[in-house]
Amino acid sequence: MDSFEWSLSKDDEYSVSDTRKHSDSIYLSVNGPATRCRILPRKVNDFVWQVALNRLPSRLTLSTRGLEIEFFGCVSCNGQVESMDHILFECSVALDLWLKVRVWCNIMIPEFHGWNEWLEWFDVGHTSTTSKDALFVIVVCLMWHLWQWRNDVMLNFKKMKKDYIFDSICLFLFNWLDSRSKCNVKLND
């Protein structure tokens, strides 16, 4: 008689939690911290995981996977190659929105050229765990909206103003923190 044995738990019982912990330990530790942040919606956590593994489907990434891409240029810059790091950190739209976040948070955040560079700076530490958690959520929200903006421009042919994108970032942040945060992470007006 054939049988199955579950080796991820002490009692040999299957659980979704044990499976997720096991897959997180394999995949999320590859290039950055575990990205399961309870404040962020699941799809945004998945987005951060893709960013940490450099798996966002930018034009450059798609071409390295064998897809024929006619035009590699950024939807905003038109001249720069559209890589994940370019969209999230180097594009003119990204640079302007990073500046707005710096001013809004009243924090000295240097310019970054990629996820790993940002992660190194972030891991150095900040004044408190709460402010570090808030900063992580703010930066992830910024990146999420940059990616959404890129997709709207490229796939839906929508044009959005930077002020609208920043307002959307603020609205999402307040909603995420208000509805999902069980800790005292709050943003000032």
Q: Which two tokens stand for residue 53?
A: 């593994």
Count helices and strands in the chain by DSSP H and E runs: 8, 0
pLDDT per position as a tens digit, 106-158: 888 889 999 999 888 888 765 566 678 788 889 999 999 999 999 988 888 88
Q: Give the domain range for residue 8.
A: 1-30
Tell me whether residue 186 is in a domain.
no
**Angle value at C-alpha 163, between 158 and 168, nearest 5 degrees:** 75
Q: What is the pLDDT of residue 26?
A: 63
Query: What tens digit of pLDDT does each residue of 15-53 get?
Result: 777 777 776 666 555 444 445 677 788 888 889 988 988
> 49 with 19, same domain?
no
pLDDT at residue 129 in the model: 66
Same domain, 85 and 19: no
Residue 31's pLDDT is: 47
53 domain-assigned: yes
In a domain, 187, yes or no: no
Output the pTM of the full model.
0.76
According to the model, what pLDDT value does residue 143 have?
95
Q: What is the pLDDT of residues 52-74, one digit of tens each?
A: 888 899 999 888 888 898 888 88
For the chain, the domain total comes to 2
In a shared domain, residues 16 and 78: no
**pLDDT > 70 fraction of the chain, expressed in percent and rounded:** 79
Q: What is the pLDDT of residue 113?
A: 92
Q: 141 and 57: one domain?
A: yes
Do 129 and 173 lie in one domain? The reply is yes
Does the residue 125 lie in any domain? yes
User: Residues near 57 by Cβ (< 8 Å), separated by ≥ 6?
Assistant: none
What SS3 string covers 57-95? CCHHHHHHCCCCCCCCECCCCCCCECCHHHHHHHCHHHH
Residues 59 and 120 in one domain: yes
CB–CB of 162/93 below 8 Å? yes
Pairwise CA distance, residues 169 & 88, whole Å = 14
Once rounded to an integer, what is the mean pLDDT over residues 158-164?
Answer: 81
Give the pLDDT score at 108.
83
Q: Are residues 105 and 52 in the same domain?
A: yes
Instruction: Please give the pLDDT value at position 73.
Output: 87
Is 73 inside any structural domain? yes
Angle between helices 129-156 and 115-123 (to 10 degrees): 170
Cα–Cα distance, 146 to 107 (Å, whole number): 20
CB proximity list for 126: less than 8 A, separation 6 or greater: 132, 135
Is 73 found in the same domain as 14?
no
Do 8 and 99 fall into the same domain?
Answer: no
- Is 5 inside any structural domain? yes
